[in-house]
């Protein structure tokens, strides 16, 4: 399946575009997508720990803008958004 990962906030540092595309096996979960993104960081950003921390702590949202859990099953080509935590002080 083809997943278009829409980037928001600090996750925009992962690409010069507003999105990344990944290919996943049928019936993959958000947990598996997160691992795929971390592997992408390892390969393309020399394992940048700051980027990996962003991925590890981010929430994900579905095409209809609902927050989705780690166990959410991806069963078709779709857009999924990654929403990093927002810090302030």
User: Is residue 88 situated within a structural domain?
Assistant: no
15 vs 79: CA distance, rounded Å: 16
pLDDT at residue number 87: 66
pLDDT at 68 over 60: yes
Q: Are strands 78-83 and 2-7 parallel, antiparallel or unpaired?
A: parallel
pLDDT digits (tens, 9 = 90+) for 17-26: 999 999 999 9
Does residue 75 fall inside a structural domain?
Answer: yes
- Asked if residue 89 is part of any domain, the answer here is no
Identify the H or E element spanning 19: strand 19-23
| Claim: this prediction has a pTM higher than 0.85 | yes
Q: Would you say residue 50 lies in a domain?
A: yes
Residue 70, domain member (yes or no): yes
| Number of structural domains the chain divides into | 1
CATH of the domain at 41: 3.10.20.30
pLDDT above 90 coverage of the chain, percent: 90
User: What range does the domain containing 29 cover?
Assistant: 2-83
Least Cα distance to 30 among 61, 52, 63, 76 occurs for 61
Given a cut of 60, whether residue 88 has pLDDT beyond it is: no
- Provide the pLDDT for residue 89: 41
């Amino acid at each position: 399946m083809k997943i278009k990962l829409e980037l928001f906030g600090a996750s925009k540092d992962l690409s010069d575009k507003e999105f990344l595309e990944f290919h996943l096996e049928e019936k993959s979960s958000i947990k598996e997508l997160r691992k795929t993104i971390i592997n992408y960081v390892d390969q393309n950003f020399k394992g940048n720990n700051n980027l990996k921390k962003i991925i590890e702590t981010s929430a994900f949202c579905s095409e209809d803008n609902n927050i989705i859990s780690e166990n959410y099953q991806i069963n078709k080509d779709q857009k999924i958004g990654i929403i990093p935590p927002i810090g302030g002080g």
